[in-house]
Amino acid sequence: MLNKWVAAPADPAVAQALEKAGFPPFLARILAARNLTTVEEARRFLHPRLEDLWEPARMKDMDRALARIRTAVQNRERIAVYGDYDCDGVCATSILYLCLRELGADVQYYIPDRFEEGYGLNVEAIRRLRDRDVRLIISVDTGITGVKPAEAAREWGMDLIITDHHRPPEQLPRAYAVINPKQPNCPYPDKDLCGSGIAFKIAQGLLGRIPTEFLDLAAVATVADLVPLLGENRILVRFGLEQLQAPRRPGLKALIEAAGLHGRPLTSGHLGFQIGPRLNAAGRLETAEAAVRLLTTDDAEEAKRCAEHLNRLNRERQILCDEIAAAALEQVEHNPQWREHRSLVLAGEGWNPGVIGIVASRIVERHNRPTLVVAVDGETAKGSARSIPGFDLYAGLKEIEDLFEKFGGHTMAAGFSLPASRIGELRERFAAVAASKLADEDLRPRVVCDAEVPLDRIDLSLADTLAALEPHGFGNPAPRLFVRDVPLLQCRTLGAESQHLKMVVGVSDRPLTVLGWGRGADIRLLARGVRSVHLVVRVGVNEWNGRREVQMELEDWRPARSASSQRDG
């Protein structure tokens, strides 16, 4: 099945206004497609400043929370930062723990064990903290569904401040304060901060300044948690990346070295695909303790030990993911009737619940439909879900929430638990929900094109202009440009197994390179006399031996003209 090529939706009037203001036509259209509707918004996007961060006090309950935290610090009350075990959770925990330690607080942190306690606040953990004489609990990246734990904290005379970014349920916990930009009646302009972004805002409020020392942690978490790289998130990542080029935090410096990135210019891609997964690995396979110690230690030797440990865990995680993904894909092959559904629900006894979210993402990449992957352990089951554009996963699961013991998440990702005996019912009912929301056409993979550019415009100047749109990630992907009817001069495969494709296009006195990673098999189609191609590419710069050359990375291609069509014409 051919991918469907679609133009990124952009208001033509906005694009025209930006073009009149001096932006190149292709850039004006890309900015309009990012929903930047005014010249001022576009300029702030291209030239972000730390001063453009919003005041934390605009967030509902922020002033109340800050006052309570200051009282606890002043009176030397024992404070616990209660985090989550993923990358965002450990970064948020580290930000707030380090900030409070800087203020002289009596502070500790607590992160639940994924396998023993599961996700979120739990009553037994609150009891443990009570027994440690904790008077104030501050949750980060979790807690918005913790109604019963909040009641337990009240009963035991503990104050609970919940800070979270996940979609709130209809009934909010009765906490001392609830900080979540998505909650009703919160006037905060930016609703898309991750848990670490909110922890950063609390630190900003407590310190009375922009806490630049935490930009590195906020940047890693923001990219890894797949929140849109727009607004404040873009600012945090842009300046956090600058800080990470020469990391001062011993833990991140050691992790960058362990990942083989020392001395290389770091990009958001490195954070999302190499740094984030290593921080995630601890909570996926054991407790997240090593990740928090890595991020909070001042000792270079301890940082090195923690980084090496996370590196080993990440390799184990990769092997586990490969094994479970192979088993899940085999289920799809052996049950062809499931492929008639507009969703997939795959389950396996003994699957590690720490990696099934990654497996779900792989299944989505292969089959392009909302996917639930469920790890079964006797009579209980835990699941992770991933979605496709156009299907609100949280809303879809909400329609069948009577099946779940717990569930939560957002539009593109969610987690849940349920009795193992109800997995069959989950498969059927979720399939019905997906069928009601998705048409067959929605399941066809799409390639979104941001703008059309003639081949003769693709040069270093255009590449440098596009670089101003970085950092790229969820919500702000690298622009995909459509280039029409491009002469194909030559093509060949690259790699030890001929797995990659190299095209040389254009004219002989100005050839341009197009690299198609993992597209080596396409050589068979191109060898059938294809003379020119339509391309969707990402344009960048290849720097080597002091030389800078424009280079295109292939997203997709189609034949425009072939030798046979020329003879027929």
The span from the CA of 160 to the CA of 151, in Å, is 10
Q: How far is CA 359 from CA 324, 345, 384, 387, 416, in A?
A: 7, 12, 9, 12, 15
278 token code pair: 């290593």
Q: How far is CA 137 from CA 107, 143, 196, in A?
A: 10, 11, 17
Angle separating helix axes 195-207 and 231-244, nearest 10 degrees: 80
The span from the CA of 276 to the CA of 247, in Å, is 15
- Summarised one tens digit per residue, pLDDT across range 505-530 is 999 889 999 999 999 999 999 988 89
- Specify the DSSP element, H or E, that contains 423: helix 423-437
- Summarised one tens digit per residue, pLDDT across range 292-319 is 999 999 999 999 999 999 999 999 999 9
- Over the chain, what is the mean pLDDT? 94
**pLDDT at residue number 546:** 81
Rounded percentage of the chain residues whose pLDDT exceeds 90:
90
Between 398 and 567, where is the model more confident? Answer: 398
**pLDDT at residue number 566:** 45
- Summarised one tens digit per residue, pLDDT across range 545-558 is 888 999 999 999 99
**pLDDT at residue number 564:** 52
What mean pLDDT comes out for the span 11-24?
A: 95
**pLDDT at residue number 429:** 97
Contacts of 230 (CB under 8 A, 6+ apart): 34, 35, 45, 192, 475, 476
Q: For residue 567, what pLDDT band results from cuts at 50, 70 and 90?
A: very low
CATH T-level fold of 447-568: OB fold (Dihydrolipoamide Acetyltransferase, E2P) (2.40.50)
What mean pLDDT comes out for the span 205-226?
A: 97
User: Residue 569: pLDDT above 70?
Assistant: no
Q: For residue 410, what pLDDT band results from cuts at 50, 70 and 90?
A: confident
User: Residue 568: pLDDT above 50?
Assistant: no
CATH T-level fold of 335-443: Diaminopimelate Epimerase; Chain A, domain 1 (3.10.310)
Is 52-312's fold the same as 335-443's? no
3-state SS track over 353-411: CCCHHHHHHHHHHHHCCCEEEEEEECCEEEEEEECCCCCCHHHHHHCCHHHCCEEEECC
Q: For residue 562, what pLDDT band results from cuts at 50, 70 and 90?
A: low
What type of residue is 445? P
CATH T-level fold of 52-312: inorganic pyrophosphatase (n-terminal core) (3.90.1640)
- Specify the DSSP element, H or E, that contains 527: none
Spatial contact of 412 and 365, defined as CB atoms under 8 Å apart:
no
Q: Domain limits of the chain?
A: 52-312, 335-443, 447-568
- Summarised one tens digit per residue, pLDDT across range 84-133 is 999 999 999 999 999 999 999 999 999 999 888 988 999 999 999 999 99
Q: For residue 542, what pLDDT band results from cuts at 50, 70 and 90?
A: confident
Q: For residue 213, what pLDDT band results from cuts at 50, 70 and 90?
A: very high
What type of residue is 459? D
What mean pLDDT comes out for the span 527-535?
A: 93
- Specify the DSSP element, H or E, that contains 132: none
